[in-house]
Chains A and B, each alone.
Chain A
Amino acid sequence: AQSVAQPEDQVNVAEGNPLTVKCTYSVSGNPYLFWYVQYPNRGLQFLLKYITGDNLVKGSYGFEAEFNKSQTSFHLKKPSALVSDSALYFCAVRVLSGNTGKLIFGQGTTLQVKP
């Protein structure tokens, strides 16, 4: 079955330090990978996606993600965390069905950035 896994329920980091939120995937064929963020009492917002090309993908709010095919990982990173980055982060993979697809999400990782 095609899936994504986020091994950490919560990540704690001090403001100004680099952050990493981990994601691994299991798909057949070439993966289409995504990161979404959910702020309190809000729906999810798209951060970035990897379809093909450079392994380092840049997205919104200074976030980037590194695709690693050999490790089947797609970790989310940011060089310097902000308190306002505190939120719930979801990794997702697109599963094809006919000529369309659906996104399958991981369990989510809560990022807590402390001042």
Chain B
Amino acid sequence: EVQLVESGGGLVKPGGSLRLSCAASGFTFSSYSMNWVRQAPGKGLEWVSFISDGSSYIYYADSVSGRFTISRDNAKNSLFLQMNNLRAEDTAVYYCARGLPGTARPFDYWGQGILVTVSS
């Protein structure tokens, strides 16, 4: 069974940092691209970042570029999101999501999400 479990969320002050982790199991992690998607309270989905299976390709939403860094450790079946210089508008539930191979790369499995709150 495919499982994605996020951790590392919590309350942080504006300007602070946080590192999210996503532990993957039930599939060959190194064969799939991965993504982070967030959802502010009461709002819609916002794609945050993509990393290819071998980490060769990495992309970010403009809203987080230069502040967030996505990475992965295929040996440990883990995905990470290092978030620096956090702002109030980064407050959201953060989901890790697996990308299917192919042109469309839909997100076929999602974690349960982890809440990040940026507030003084």
> Do chains A and B stick together as partners?
no
Binding site for B on A (CB under 8 A): none
Binding site for A on B (CB under 8 A): none
